[in-house]
């Protein structure tokens, strides 16, 4: 099992030795390594069982440092960075050669972000290299939002988990790239499209495409629990299964036909941020119940509801 603690200094030492450390961020926990050390980066792919064609996000603690890892910064990228960094925003920008090709899976852009979490920022400030960090889950499974989630799945493969408590946002960062300097959203996430549009005007969203070469990680099977999950046809489900064997994830209220113990409500007050924060932990809880199938209700398609629905659809695929 991994050690769990809040030793920033210890995490720093391990990372400087090329080892992996799970780190907290405001979105989800990351599996971090020195992004400039190819062997260390390689071990991220091995531990996660992640294909090397799926590139990694690099993390740093200031816009100034971030500029060392890219070769240009379109005006709208700078506006978004100023508005949302630190925060749940990842920008795809032209890669500087100091970033190994392994990090970007050979792509010419690199994904960069500044996490808004005090421990992560404290750690990043002590390092003289950026951290490559995908979500700290086995490839294809639900992302972790607590140190215990990381321990349960990767604990036997890593030395240390830096415990920063429960992630405050709870879903991954929004990924924005640029097509001819115009922003394109490639992954819906912790910053709503509406918030992005407030800063840079109307943006294109390509997050639902699965054959999108710019975001090879946007595979349909992402975010899946082990149990089958379905987002439609509750009536059909109730006909085909004993109601004791159905788990339910709903937005604001329980479903009368299913035992309450099998149900999780994302936000009784219909608050999107609260729903996002609870999403992955509740999916894990439902996955662990003695049910045969999970029914998830889609949220209104606005604000973080879009990002949550995107994950539910992928989990259902």
| Residue 208 CB partners (closer than 8 Å, separation 6+) | 310
Single residue of 36, 40, 110, 308 touching ligand TXA by CB under 6 A: 110
Closer Cβ to ligand TXA, 137 or 263, answer by number: 137
**Is the Cβ of residue 43 or residue 135 nearer to Mg ion in the bound state?**
135
Could you tell me what percentage of the chain is helix, strand and coil, using 3-state DSSP and rounding each to the nearest 5? 35, 20, 45
Q: Which residue, among 30, 236, 235, has the nearest Cα to 143 in the 3D structure?
A: 30
- d(C-alpha 83, C-alpha 132), whole Å: 23
Q: Which residues in 98-137 contact Mg ion (CB under 5 A)? A: 135
Least Å distance, CB 136 to ligand TXA, is 7
**In which element (H, E) is residue 54 found?**
none
Q: Report the residue number, 206 or 231, with the smaller CB distance to ligand TXA.
A: 206
34 binds, among ligand TXA, Mg ion, none (CB under 5 to 8 A by kind): none
For residues 144 and 72, the answer to whether their CB atoms sit within 8 Å is no
60 binds ligand TXA, rule: CB under 6 A: no
Coil/strand/helix, residue 113: strand
Residue among 14, 15, 22, 30 that touches ligand TXA (CB under 6 A): 30
CB count in 10 Å sphere of residue 52: 13
Q: Which of 151, 160, 147, 157 is nearest to 46 (CA)?
A: 157
**What mask of x and - would describe binding to ligand TXA in positions 175 to 194, judged by CB under 6 A?**
x-------------------
Q: Which of 130-138, 149-157, 276-284, 300-308 is the region at the interface with ligand TXA (rule: CB under 6 A)? A: 130-138
Residue numbers of the site for ligand TXA (CB under 6 A)? 25, 27-28, 30, 54-57, 90, 92, 104, 107, 109-111, 113, 115, 133-135, 172-173, 175, 214-218
């Amino acid at each position: 099992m991994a050690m769990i603690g809040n030793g920033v200094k210890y995490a720093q030492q391990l990372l400087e030795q090329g080892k992996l450390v799970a780190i907290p961020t405001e979105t989800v926990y990351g599996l971090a390594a020195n992004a400039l050390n190819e062997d260390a980066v390689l071990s991220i792919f091995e531990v996660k069982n992640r294909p090397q064609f799926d590139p990694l996000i690099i993390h740093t603690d200031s816009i100034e440092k971030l500029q060392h890892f890219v070769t240009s910064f379109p005006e709208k990228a700078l506006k978004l960075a100023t508005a949302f960094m630190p925060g749940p925003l990842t920008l795809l920008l032209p890669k500087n050669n100091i970033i190994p090709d392994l990090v970007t899976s050979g792509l010419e852009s690199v994904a960069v972000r500044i996490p808004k979490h005090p421990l992560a920022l404290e750690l990043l400030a002590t390092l003289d290299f950026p951290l490559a960090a995908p979500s700290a889950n086995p490839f294809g499974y639900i992302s972790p939002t607590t140190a215990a989630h990381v321990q349960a799945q990767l604990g036997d493969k890593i030395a240390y988990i830096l415990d920063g408590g429960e992630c405050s946002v709870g879903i991954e960062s929004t990924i924005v790239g640029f097509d001819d300097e115009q922003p394109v959203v490639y992954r819906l996430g912790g910053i709503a499209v509406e918030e992005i549009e407030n800063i840079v005007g109307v943006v294109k969203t390509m997050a639902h495409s699965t054959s999108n070469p710019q975001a090879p990680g946007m595979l349909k099977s992402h975010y899946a629990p082990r149990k089958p999950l379905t987002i439609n046809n509750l009536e059909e489900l109730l006909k085909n299964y004993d109601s004791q064997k159905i788990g339910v994830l709903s937005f604001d209220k329980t479903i009368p036909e299913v035992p309450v113990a099998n149900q999780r409500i994302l936000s009784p007050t219909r608050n999107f941020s609260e729903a996002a924060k609870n999403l992955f932990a509740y999916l894990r809880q439902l996955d662990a119940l003695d049910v045969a199938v999970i029914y998830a209700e889609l949220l209104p398609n606005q604000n973080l509801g879009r990002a949550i629905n995107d994950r539910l659809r992928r989990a259902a695929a």
